[in-house]
Structure 1
Amino acid sequence: MNHRKFSDRRGRRWEVRVTSRSEWRFEPLRGNPDPPQRVRPPLYAGDDPFELSEQELQAILGDATPEARTDRGTSGASPFGEVYEPRRKKSPFLDDLADDD
């Protein structure tokens, strides 16, 4: 399936991908520093972005929300200042019985 490409009002290039009947994904193309966007398409659009004009796509993109980032850059440290170390597992061969915790 082909994905629809278009330019927004600022001249940045986007690609529309239909992820489901209730969600479209706008992915930035080369040279567009914006993050991917998700949007609920209008009911009259169905699941075919090729039926819409560029102006309609621009309006839909204006209502889109940025996708949640999975990489938030957190260090994994506890917000409570605690240092978490996983409990050391005992050997299944019971050769570490002298190292009782």
Structure 2
Amino acid sequence: MSHRNFYDRQRNRWEVRVSSRAEWRFEPLPGNPNPPRLVRPPLYAGDDPFELSEQELQTIFGTATPEARAEKKAQRASPFGDAYEPQPHTRKSPFLDDIGEG
């Protein structure tokens, strides 16, 4: 699938890349100092940005958020209020044939 280029309202050039039906990625083109952005496209957009006008893309782009960088992502707390720590394995065989040994 090809990618669509367009100008935002500040006249910066962007490239729209469809990651999935639920996520589009806006990549800055050369000369655009902004970071990449992610957006959840509206349902009517489907997965084809070529079906949209430049004004519709600008409106969708207005709801995009800057992409979080991997090193800045904070680890989310468990919704159950506990921290998971894997227990050390005492058994060596995945077939449980070493149960009686020890």
Q: Taking structure 2 as the reference length, what is the TM-score of the superposition?
A: 0.68
For residue 23 of structure 2, what is the amino acid of its counterpart?
Answer: E
Corresponding residue for 1:25? 25
Corresponding residue for 1:93? none
The answer to whether 1:39 aligns with 2:51 is: no
Structure 2 CA distance for aligned equivalents of residues 18 and 39 of structure 1: 10
For residue 65 of structure 2, what is the amino acid of its counterpart?
Answer: T
Deviating beyond 2 angstroms after TM superposition, the runs of 4 or more aligned structure 1 residues are none
Report the Cα offset of residue 70 of structure 1: 2.4
Structure 2 CA distance for aligned equivalents of residues 4 and 18 of structure 1: 9
Q: Structure 1: which 5+ residue stretches go unaligned? A: 73-101
Structure 2 CA distance for aligned equivalents of residues 26 and 34 of structure 1: 10
Corresponding residue for 1:55? 55
Q: Structure 2: which 5+ residue stretches go unaligned? A: 73-102
Corresponding residue for 2:3? 3
Corresponding residue for 1:85? none
Q: 1:46-79: per-residue Cα shift (whole Å, max 9, x none)?
A: 000000000000011110000001245xxxxxxx
Q: Taking structure 1 as the reference length, what is the TM-score of the superposition?
A: 0.69
Corresponding residue for 2:76? none
Taking only the aligned residue pairs, the percentage that are identical comes to: 75
- The root-mean-square deviation of aligned C-alpha atoms, in Å, is 0.9
SS at match of 1:38: strand
Report the Cα offset of residue 19 of structure 1: 0.2
Corresponding residue for 2:69? 69
Structure 2 CA distance for aligned equivalents of residues 3 and 71 of structure 1: 27
